[in-house]
Amino acid sequence: MLRSLFVRIRSADARLRVSALALVLVAAAAAAGPGDAAAQERESAGVPRSAVYAPNGAIATSQPLATSAGLAVLEAGGNAVDAAVTAAIVLTVTEPHMTGLGGDLFALYWSEAEGRLVGLNGHGRAGSRMTVEALREAGHESIPGRGAASVTVPGSLAGWADLLERYGTFTLAQALAPAIRLAEEGFPVSPVVARDWAQQVNALGNDEGSAATFLVDGERAPRAGEWFRNPDYARTLRNIAEEGPQLLYGGELGRRVVEGLDSLGGFLTLEDLRAHRSEWVEPISVPFRDVRVWQIPPPSQGVAALQMLRILEPFPLEQMGHNSPEYLHHLVEAKKLAYADLSRYVADPGHMRVSVEELLSDDYVDRRRALIDPYRAMESPDPDPVLEGSETIYLAVADAEGNMISFINSVFNYFGSGVVVPGTGFHLQNRGQGFTMEAGHPNQVAPGKAPFHTIIPAFVTRTGAGGQDEPWMSFGVMGGAMQPQGHVQLLLNMLLFDMDPQQAIDATRFRHYSGLRVGVESMLPESVRAALRARGHEIDGIGPLAVGGGQAVVRLERGWVAGSDSRKDGQAAGH
């Protein structure tokens, strides 16, 4: 039924498509139902989720309504890009603390028709008035983590439109329709989102627009299961559906954003928005065992995941055993080395003084690997504090034609800068915090410069019978500085320990912070913690929020298998 409805929608005029496509989302969500007591009992008893196997296509996101929206697109004959963009826009409504129209995105897309992987860099840049001198004149000795001064050009909207234009079959208006309906009519807030939202009440109350948009009666966050609407955002998205992305990038919406930021001490101009462009980029990669692992290039931190894998490859990791003291020690030490380089060298590619190729070269990796003592934790240089942010959504999609996408969208901190220009319904990211004010650093803030980014999509290919790369897995782990170390842990779980995607995602994770401090989840046995302490690690217990959330879609010989992190509200589904 859903497929036939979408076919009719695609032949209708644009305005009717917006309304009709939204109705299909409601039907899909209603058919899924609210869940049953047995499922809740299984979760509370610690029984893991099963991976989702599907013959035609699969999607995994961090929120069920987004998964339902993307799945409905696939069932209607839309492709992986159509489904990913639709789901991502729904997430701006259902997970507003994590992502939004005012954020940035990156994507890796396997085009089956072209037989290759392509990258989209959908980040914005510093405003033309954002200088070290201007920041200091405003009283800032470091880049602020909140407020108008932290806002950079939002790249999400342009990225959605560019993906659809080059590789999609849906229009932007069609992709926006489900989110418009949810924002207008409302939805019940899911539990993990409600928990995270409640922790931001004080921050949201500091901005008039944020309080009016995201707090119930201007005082509290919505509770789990409570209905939430954002009519201002529905109006904004509807206007974009009618007028296109230019409404933000130089048009009336952009003018309102700039004027709102000006009144609060921002650095953007309308010309900054008008000049914004997404960038199609060549992904970077390294071989590891019998696969090739791909990441988005700088200014994002994907190179750290690749460097970790290169450092770890010669070690007998399988023989050490999964999450044994020896195994975890080597992963933590490799992380310290990779992140020390990340903090020192990675920035806007036009300002980097060390290339990605140098950081991944045999000689350099060999020298870094030689610093690992198998019996003692090293004191390594700390990553910059900015690397600790963690507010992002990640999703993965595959379609019946074999296309796959790895997609990540973020506003950086919870609710980004905390600034909502009144009446727009969306918050603006604080990605300017990715800069440093340190003189001479390649990542020093400057007008028109791209800040260091934490968000990274990942992809894995295998060598086919003809010697060509073939797509295997689209995956990602959210969580700021957690992301490269999360990518490595998830990937090794699958490649070395024969886990399916759901098992690999749900397996106990660690997070190295700085120096000797390592956070581990509660499931890690005390005997392993004690052995790590004996090597000099300072072990702390951490909750699920600290290790992010992951999604993955894997290509089988025939069909697909997908998983979505049980630490989040997310869901994998297929057809």
Burial-class residue 178 by CB neighbours within 10 Å (0-12, 13-18, 19+).
buried
**361, β-bridge pairs:** none
**Tokens, residue 390:** 């963690």
Distance CA 556, CA 54 (A): 10
Distance CA 421, CA 424 (A): 6
Which stretches of 78-155 are DSSP H helices? 80-94, 132-137
Distance CA 398, CA 112 (A): 11
**Tokens, residue 548:** 């992010």
Residues with Cβ within 8 Å of 8's Cβ and at least 6 positions away in sequence, in order, are 20
Please give the positions annotated as active site.
392
SS3 at position 490:
helix
Tell me the Cα Rg of the chain.
22
**Tokens, residue 349:** 């590619």
Residue 461: phi, psi to the nearest 5? -120, 160
Within 13 Å of residue 454, how many CA atoms lie on the same side as its CB? 34
Distance CA 63, CA 94 (A): 7
Distance CA 75, CA 2 (A): 7
Residue 153: phi, psi to the nearest 5? -60, 125
- Residue (of 489, 536, 538) closest to 373 by Cα position: 536
Rounded to 10°, the helix 231-243/252-262 angle is: 130
